[in-house]
Amino acid sequence: MAQNWNTLLSYIKRKVGAPLNLLEFTDDDIYEIIKEDVIPALSQYVGKPLWLRLSSSNLATVTNAENQSTYTIPTPENVILVDIMEVYYSASSSAWSGYDNVLGILDPRDIVMMNEFNDMMNYLSTAQAFHFMYPDTISFSEQLQDDVILECKAIHSDLSTIPGDVYYDIFRDWCLAEIKEDVLALRSKYETISAPFGELRLNWQKLEQDVMTLRQKIEAKLDAMPPEHLISFV
């Protein structure tokens, strides 16, 4: 089944009971609720992956007192960043710098020694700390000497970028819970409504219980999700 708005709307309306159970929201209303409330919240857990290059030309300010450098992230238009997951630094400071064209003629023992030396230098070097500031700023503990690659997490701009397992296991029910909750906010103000053939009970208490059950189910699945990055200790 395709991950698109038509199938998602059909799923939600079918679970709510439409058309037998008249829905207070139009398709456009449901689209706006999901776009404004559900997708940004889901993206905090599972964002759209994005890689951006940051160079010295993006330098915004330097705080001399703390020796921190702040950079403006070159974010593409209509992309909203959630967080920076990792920063990948240039390998120009590696022990192999300048030896790219002669690796084939080096003595194997020299290659082993250079590998050991490079590992030692990486181990002893000070880790560059960084801090992301919404919406498009990142600061480093020291000024960058080379370009870096930022592994970013952004808000999903389309349903197709949501991983399939997350879409079917969490996202659809999250959308359903959000719509049911908004319907509940309207129906809970009345016990019955008048119809040509008599009074109709809204039975909003059942809807409230459904929302609570869905919310608990979604929260349990979100809590069980593995971390996006595991911390390793050397």
pLDDT digits (tens, 9 = 90+) for 67-85: 688 999 999 999 999 999 9
Strand stretches in 113-203, DSSP E: 130-133, 137-140, 148-154, 192-195, 198-201
Final residue of a structural domain among 154, 172, 202: 154
Q: Is 42 found in the same domain as 53?
A: no
Alpha-carbon distance values, 40 to 65, 134, 149 (Å) = 36, 14, 24
DSSP 22-82: --SS-HHHHHHHIIIIIHHHHHHHSPEEEEEEE-GGGEEEEETTTTEEEEE--PPTT--EE
User: Does the residue 145 lie in any domain?
Assistant: yes
In a domain, 61, yes or no: yes
Could you count the other beta carbons within 10 Å of the beta carbon of residue 148? 20
CA distances from 170 to 31, 83, 222, 230 (A): 17, 21, 8, 22
Domain presence at residue 231: no
Residue at a domain's end among 154, 182, 206: 154
Q: Are residues 176 and 150 in the same domain?
A: no
pLDDT the model gives residue 113: 75
Give a yes or no: residue 211 inside a domain: yes
Number of domains in the chain: 2
Give the structural domain span for 119: 48-154
Residues 145, 164 within the same domain: no
* Across 184-198, average pLDDT: 68
Q: Looking at the structure, tell me whether residues 197 and 164 fall in a common domain.
A: yes
Same domain for 38 and 121, yes or no, is: no
Residue 229 lies in a domain: no
Backbone phi, then psi, for 216, in 5-degree steps? -65, -40
Q: Is the model's pLDDT at 146 over the cut of 90? A: no
What letter represents residue 228's amino acid?
Answer: E
How confident is the model over 124-146, as a mean pLDDT?
Answer: 84
End-to-end CA distance of the chain, in Å?
44
Question: Are residue 84 and residue 119 in the same domain, yes or no?
Answer: yes
Q: pLDDT tens digits, residue range 157-183?
A: 999 999 999 999 999 999 999 999 988
The bridge status of strand 137-140 relative to strand 130-133 is: antiparallel
pLDDT value of position 165: 92
* pTM for this predicted structure: 0.75
What six digits make up the tokens of 166? 């997350």
A 10 A CB-CB count for 132 gives: 19
Output the pLDDT for position 187: 75
Within this chain, do residues 107 and 181 fall inside the same structural domain, yes or no?
no
Domain boundary, last residue among 106, 129, 154 = 154
Q: How far out from the chain centre does Cα 4 lie?
A: 19
pLDDT in tens, 22-73: 677 889 999 999 999 999 999 999 999 999 999 888 888 777 666 688 999 9
